Every structure is written in C-alpha cells, then in structure tokens.
Structure 1
Amino acid sequence: MSVAVVGMLLSIYVGYTHAEQFSLWAQVASHIALILCATAIKIGYVMRCIGLNGLGVTQL
C-alpha cells in the first residue's frame, strides 16, 4: 500500500500541481496512474481487513 500511496502522490504532482512542466502524454499517464494507484490502495486495505479477520482481530 505504501508503494501505491507514493505512486498516487507522484501522479498528483505530475498531473495537477506542475502540469505545465510535463508533456500531454505524461499528464495522461499520470491521470491513468492516479486511478490505478487509488484502486491498489483500496484493494490493499481490503486484503488487510481480510487478513486481520483471519487472525481473529476485532475491528470497528
């Protein structure tokens, strides 16, 4: 999940905060990467919840 968070932050940097410094293709790639990284974070969190449930840890 930490790799996905770093990827998400980098894609936000390229696609939104400093978009004028990157080519159109890099901006398109960063927008696609943003979707993929957000999905990876969500899948990672669900896998974490499944693992904790398997260990018998109660969650809120």
Structure 2
Amino acid sequence: LEYSYCPECGIRFTERMNDRLNLNGKTYCVNCGQNFIIEQQIINPPIAKSFANYK
C-alpha cells in the first residue's frame, strides 16, 4: 500500500513512513507527529454495496 498525505499538516508521506505502515501498520508524521494506525482508518464501502442498502 502507498499512502499520500498527512491529513493534519498536509505533507506527503515519506518512503520510510509508507514502509513502516506496510510493515507493522503503524507510523507517525515526521512533520507534525500525528500517529497513524491502519486499523483505525475508516474505509468507505464500495459504491455499489452502499447503493444496494438504499433500495
């Protein structure tokens, strides 16, 4: 997986930050210190699945 930007300060994730997330699911922003844990990130369901719930 590759992640893009820190939502807190907006800097692009470094290669090492991406590597740590892929390795153990945890990292922190080198600029602002925000912690990231993959299990805590909200992943939206596929659009087709969401649409099926509204029928």
TM-score by length of 1: 0.28
- Richer in strand (by share): 2
* Higher normalized helix content (fraction of residues): 1
- Max radius of gyration: which structure? 1
Higher relative contact order (CA 8 A, sep 6+): 1
What TM-score do the two structures reach when normalised by structure 2? 0.29
